[in-house]
Amino acid sequence: MRGHPHRGFWPYFLHGALYVLAAAGFTYWLHDMGVFDRWENSNLDRFLFAKKPSQSNDIVLVVIDEDDYRSEFKSQSPLAAQRVVNIIGAIQKGKPEVIGVDLDTSQWVLDETPPTLRSLIAQWKNVVWARDGWTENGHFQMAPVLGDDPTDICFGLPALRVDDDGIVRRFFPVYNPADNAPGFSTTLIRLFNARGETSCKSGGAPIAESNAEQGRLINFLGPKDNFRKLTASSVLAMAKIEEWQKTSEVAGKIVLLGGTYRAARDRFSTPVGAMDGVEVLAHIVQTEIAKPLGEAPAWVYVVADIALGLTLLAVLYTLPPVWRTIALLSSFLLAILASFFLFQISSYFFSFVPIIGGVFVHHVIEQHFESRELRRENQELRSKLGHRSH
């Protein structure tokens, strides 16, 4: 039997190209309709879970854990403003570059506290406060921060996107429904990059654009132990030591203050396991600092699909029938391995869509034509041999 299809190369190739183009167009339409979202998310989750864990050199977490919640805050929510300010003051003695506060301050009543508390908060130009919000009657409403809406502080929205399966994979550097309000990580990065030369109200790095519907993928560092963690009580104790004020673990770093106690109800499912909200935010900040997780636009997928399909057609033409089938089946595995390799070396997520299916359909049809042509040739040969025997 011939090592390549019975027809000439160009009839075979052009016929196959029609299937490739049809499959690429159909795949693009399905991708645009979101049919592949669950499949792509599953691939992304596997890639993130399989990547080599690493630890951040730029971010330190200061957490209010169960013991701190009981001892420092008497198990009462919302957290007392004075005690939170004391913790921030202790962190400040360690000379961090920026502090992000991921705590609910919407019910604080600063007017009833000593005047020095509000004035102290106003002096901290390197503190970013998390500010929540909600959508009501189609309009996004900002929650209060520090009990009201002060104009002399920095704030950002911890705008996470929870997918239909309940897993957080994306965030919004800019939240369009809130009149393009900056995300929590965006404000932190702006101050961190400015190194004290500007404020969140002026100058600094430009705010990154964000797809209003999709958001940006979070490049999780791993399932656990990716950030140095200190408890709030330990920071309060160390702040009294002169050594902390000279060479602390938070010096020149981004510090995120958040709650990990159960009553905070601030825990999320992620591709690498369940995490407290402050840790998810740490992964988001690290994503913006180091290497954002890339994702190709839809037209790139189409071009790649067509290129892959046409390459397969040319290669398969030179192979015997059995090896053609083996090569097609192997190409599914190779596509997954290629996607994983690209993700590992460049943090670029490229989920190969099933263009190979179009090539496989073409292969089956070509096999049918070949078999029919071979049967016709065999019949003609038998007929000639029969005439000779007579």
DSSP string computed for 5-66:
-SS-HHHHHHHHHHHHHHHHHHHHHHHHTTTTHHHHHHHHHHHHHHSPP---SSEEEEEE-H
Give me the residues paired with residue 231 across strands.
63
- Domain assignment present for 379: yes
Structure tokens at 162: 């929870």
Whole-number pLDDT of residue 295: 65
Per-residue pLDDT 10s for the chain (390 aa) are 444 555 678 887 887 788 778 777 777 776 677 666 676 777 778 778 777 788 899 999 999 999 999 999 999 999 999 999 999 999 999 999 999 999 999 988 876 666 678 888 888 989 999 998 887 787 888 888 888 877 778 899 998 988 888 999 999 988 877 777 888 999 999 889 887 655 665 434 444 444 446 788 898 988 788 999 999 999 999 999 988 988 899 999 999 999 999 999 999 999 999 999 999 999 999 998 886 676 666 677 677 777 877 887 788 778 777 777 777 777 767 777 777 666 665 555 655 555 566 566 656 666 666 676 667 767 777 776 766 655
Distance between CA 79 and CA 73 in Å, rounded?
6
Residue 82 sits in the same domain as residue 168: yes
Task: Please check whether residues 25 and 153 belong to one and the same domain.
Answer: no
Retrieve residue 172's tokens: 């919004």
Task: Note whether residue 4 is domain-resident.
Answer: no
Same domain, 168 and 187: yes
The predicted model scores a pTM of 0.74
Burial class (CB in 10 A: 0-12, 13-18, 19+), 68: buried
Do 74 and 165 have their domain in common? yes
Domain boundary at 256, 289, 322, which? 289
Q: What is the pLDDT of residue 40?
A: 73
Final residue belonging to a domain, choices 261, 289, 317:
289
Q: Is residue 3 part of a domain?
A: no
Please check whether residues 96 and 218 belong to one and the same domain. Answer: yes
Residue 252 structural domain = 59-289
Q: Are residues 201 and 265 in the same domain?
A: yes
State the pLDDT at residue 19: 76
Domain count within the chain: 2
Which is nearest to 312 in space by CA: 337, 297, 298, 330?
A: 330
pLDDT of residue 98: 96
Q: Residue 123 class from Cβ within 10 Å (0-12 exposed, 13-18 middle, 19+ buried)?
A: exposed
Residues 164, 107, single domain; the answer is yes
CA distance 37 to 23: 18
Of 289, 306, 336, which marks where a domain is finished? 289
112 with 226, same domain: the answer is: yes
Q: Note whether residue 360 is domain-resident.
A: yes
**Are 301 and 359 within one domain?**
yes
